[in-house]
Amino acid sequence: MGDEKKKQGFSRRTFLKGSALTSALGTSLNENEAEAKTSTPLQLGPNDAPLSLTVNGRKRKLSISADETLVEVLRDRMGLTGAKVGCDRGACGACTVLVDGLPRASCLTLAMDMAGHTVETVEAIGGKSGLSTLQNAFIQQDAMQCGYCIPGFVVSAEALIRRKPDATRKDIESALSGNLCRCGSQPHIVEAILEVLEESGNP
């Protein structure tokens, strides 16, 4: 869940001459500094190791296992269950989140690779008002049925609209080509996105 596990130090295999490693998780540890002093680069694990990243606008310091994927960290450690596991192989898009503004399959992303990066999940898309223009359009156009795939679609679509305000229907189809929906809401989803693009195009 959301708790961070009890902080543990690095594995024995990490050599860090000259740095005081008595405290837990090296929040003050400068990895580059440590590296320059050693011949062996930093090895994280097999015990839980630190991961610093920004999630939904907040800097987070977590202690995770090196083999965790980003979707596991978001859902199981941070309670952000918007991103779903639909296939766990990057084919269905239900796990889509934004990393540095770009949609990624969080089930095929090692959480450790996210150190220093910015992650945005569906929970943050609405911002302070709770619902973005796109999310409102989804609701008005009935761009959903069972809803399981919708967080992934919302994230992919939101990224497209931010990146390409003049996107065409073909651009939409391409941007959503990694998101699967079994209920058949794709037509309404595309209409919702087109509506938002059209309206934002008008001054």
**Binding residues among 51-80 for another protein as defined by CB under 8 A:** 65-69, 75-76, 79-80
Binding-site size for another protein (CB under 8 A) equals 92
- Given 53, 73, 161, 190, the residue binding another protein (CB under 8 A): 190
Asked if 180 and 91 touch (Cβ cutoff 8 Å), the reply is yes
> Which residue, 11 or 52, has its beta carbon nearer to another protein?
11
Angle between helices 133-140 and 186-201 (to 10 degrees): 130
**Please, which of residues 156-175 interact with another protein by CB under 8 A?**
156, 172-175
- What minimum distance in Å lies between the beta carbon of 80 and another protein? 8
16: Cα within 13 Å, side-chain hemisphere: 19
**Rounded CA separation 129/107 (Å):** 29
Q: Tell me: does residue 181 bind another protein (CB under 8 A).
A: yes
Q: Tell me: does residue 182 bind another protein (CB under 8 A).
A: yes
Q: Tell me: does residue 43 bind another protein (CB under 8 A).
A: yes
Tell me 23's DSSP state: S
> Which residue, 24 or 37, has its beta carbon nearer to another protein?
37
Four-residue CA torsion sign, 88, 89, 94, 97 = positive
**Please, which of residues 78-117 interact with another protein by CB under 8 A?**
79-94, 96, 99, 102-105, 107-110, 112-113
- Given 26, 53, 73, 138, the residue binding another protein (CB under 8 A): 138
- What minimum distance in Å lies between the beta carbon of 33 and another protein? 12
**Please, which of residues 1-30 interact with another protein by CB under 8 A?**
1, 11, 13
Q: What is the largest CA-CA distance in the chain?
A: 61
81-101 CB burial, b ≥16 within 10 A, e <16 = ebbbebeeeeebbbbbbbbee
**Rounded CA separation 5/180 (Å):** 34
